[in-house]
Each structure stands twice: as structure tokens, then as C-alpha cells.
Amino acid sequence: MSGKIESRLAELGIDLAQGPAPAANYVPYAIVGDLVTISGQISMTPEGMLTGKLGDDVSLEQGQAAARVCAINLLSQLKSACGGDLDRVVRVVRLGGFVNSTPDFTDQPAVINGASDFMVEVFGDAGKHARAAVGCVSLPFGVAVEVEGTFQIK
């Protein structure tokens, strides 16, 4: 039987895949006490990576969709950290969003709303979190967005 969060994800049409393995010398997540910190997740789907630069060849809407993909990837890693039970999540504590953008692009917060809005869609009020949204000259593999997160679990 699936839990409340898995049921909510199913309502949203989302089936969490196994989180990707790290691409370098780090772990996908670290648990300290009741906090889980998930390493940055990039805008990668099973079909490929969502690449490009906001303010150039990626629209705001495409950037928001890329941030949502990052958030889904965060939950894939979080599910693994929680032993498969996302109902252990007490709240989303913080998201850090990185946007591959031109120097004159200033809507990074609107881009990262794609991830923030998703967390609230899934977790309700427990999905509301502290956050940073910053612009970067480039990101790994040329992806449009990367998001990291910290979650409280029981």
C-alpha cells in the first residue's frame, strides 16, 4: 500500500525513478540527526538533460519546468534516504536553486518557483521552505537549472 505522499505524487502523474548516481566524488545525500541534505539535482529527465541559458535560448516557462524536474529528482533521492517511505518527511526546510543565466537575466526567483511550487503541491504547508535562487554563468553539463535541498524527517 502506498503512503499519503506517494498517493499525492500519483495524482500528479509522477512516478519517481531511482535517483541518479553521483557524477563525481560525493554522496547523493547525507543524514545528520533528523535532517537530510540532498546534493544538487540537475534538470535531467529519462529522455535527457534540459540544457541552455535563461535570458538566451531558454524561456522563463522552460526554466520553471526545468526547476520542477530538479525537484522531482530531489524527491527521488529523498525517497531513497527515507528507505522508500516519503511519509517520513516532516517538512521541506530549504532549497537552493542555481540558474544558468545571462548577466542581464534577473528572474532567477521566478525560475526556482518551479521547484518551490512543486514542493508545496506535494507536501502542502510542510512544503513551504527557506530558499536561495542565484544566477550562474554555467552549470554542469550545460543544464539550465540545479536545485539542492534540506528536509526534516522522522
For the chain, 154 residues long, the average pLDDT of each consecutive 10-residue run is 88 88 89 98 90 97 97 97 96 98 98 98 98 97 97 98
pLDDT of residue 17: 82
| Residue 104, in any domain of the structure | yes
Element at 46 (helix H, strand E): none
Residues of the domain holding 104? 4-12+25-153
Q: Is 121 left (phi over 0), alpha (psi -120 to 50) or beta?
A: alpha
The 3-state secondary structure of 96-129 reads: EEEEEECCCCCCHHHHHHHHHHHHHHHHHHHHCC
**How far, in Å, CA of 143 to CA of 136, rounded?**
11
Work out how many domains the chain is built from and give that number.
Answer: 1
CA atoms within 13 A on the CB side of 50: 25
The CATH number of the domain holding residue 110 is 3.30.1330.40
| Residue 101, in any domain of the structure | yes
Distance between terminal CA atoms of the chain? 20
Handedness of CA 117, 119, 122, 125 (dihedral sign): negative
| Residue 17, in any domain of the structure | no
| Residue 110, in any domain of the structure | yes
Question: Which parts of the chain are beta strand (E)?
Answer: 29-32, 35-42, 44-45, 48-49, 89-100, 130-136, 145-153
| Residue 41, in any domain of the structure | yes
